[in-house]
Amino acid sequence: MHMRALSFLFLWLTFTLPKVDAANCSTVFPDAASSSSSAGGISFNQFARLIGTDGVIDIPIIRDDTSNSCDTTSCMYSGNPARSLNLPGFNFSNSSQDITVSLNSSGTTPQGSYDNIFIEQNSTFHITGNSTVTRIDEIHIDDNSTLTLDNGVYWFNLLDMDSNAKLVIPTGQKVTLYLNTSNFEQNLRFNWDGTPDQLVLISYSDFSPSTNTFMRGYLYSAQDVIWDNFGKLVGAVNATNIAIGDVGEFTLDASSIETAMFDNTCTQDNELPTPILYYSMDMCSIPSAIPDQVGTNNGSVAGL
């Protein structure tokens, strides 16, 4: 290839190389519980523990009221925080359309933008897939009611779940759920009958479910996770501060992390350094001799 062509190819490659993926999801969730903040920490109430860990975790220990917080030993801090997700600005709904599912009934609606959705007691509601990002201002799930989400990305400004409410993802479907704020009561189930790679839940504020709440999925909070007594999570958690109540358990599922749908939040967009321009020798006139303008180390041209 001619030198001039090589030089232009070099410049084109230099300026069009993709951004570097500086972090993957396993570095955000290296263990059952982690923090991206060196100022964060984890607290274990009585008999609370992490399962599937080697005993060294990427979050400082604030309080440990049990002797086997990491399987059969006490957890120790690695000295290094985990990586963080690259969160976009929150995607709010601008819709004025409300939906109410009456007591003891069922309903469906396609993915899209809505204002407020009310699911009354003992009812079911299914948001069906149509490859559209779903934005909802407020969604309220009353006692003993179920919300089913098909495959896709969801933005809930407020998720309010009363006692015994469930969030279900059908077999084979995968969901990324962004929460701006939330309000939770006890005995909740988040994808509990599914697999962890079906649910990635990203909270922009504290995530604090009440007693006896179970989840299968990967939970990330930009603030704190406060998991009340007798709760269980299978997957992993990353938050600034984490508190696990009495007899609570977080079990790491590392095998499902790379198959979960993180909506490109695991990628840190780092531009490559500004390149140095390269010019081929045939872009200017070259004499048969090249004099040294400073010293006496004159050169000659060969092989051109």
CB 108 within 8 A of CB 119: no
Domain coordinates of the chain in residue numbers? 3-17+272-300, 25-259
User: What are the helix (H) ranges across the chain?
Assistant: 3-16, 25-28
- Report, as an integer, the average pLDDT of 84-103: 98
233 strand-pairing partners: 215, 250
82 closest CA partner among 25, 22, 35:
35
DSSP string, 154-165: EEEEEEEE-TT-
Give dist(CA 304, CA 301) in Å, integer.
Answer: 7
What is the pTM for the complete model shown?
A: 0.82
Reply yes or no on whether the pLDDT at 259 is more than 70: yes
pLDDT digits (tens, 9 = 90+) for 281-290: 444 454 555 5
Question: Any idea what DSSP says for residue 262?
Answer: -
35 closest CA partner among 54, 51, 58:
58
pLDDT, residue 299, reads 53
Q: What percent of the chain has pLDDT over 90?
A: 77
- Report, as an integer, the average pLDDT of 258-279: 67
- pLDDT band of residue 67 (cuts 50, 70, 90) is confident
Length, in residues, of the chain = 304
Least confident of 42-56, 143-157, 256-270: 256-270
Reply yes or no on whether the pLDDT at 109 is more than 60: yes
Give the dihedral sign, CA 178/175/142/166. Answer: negative
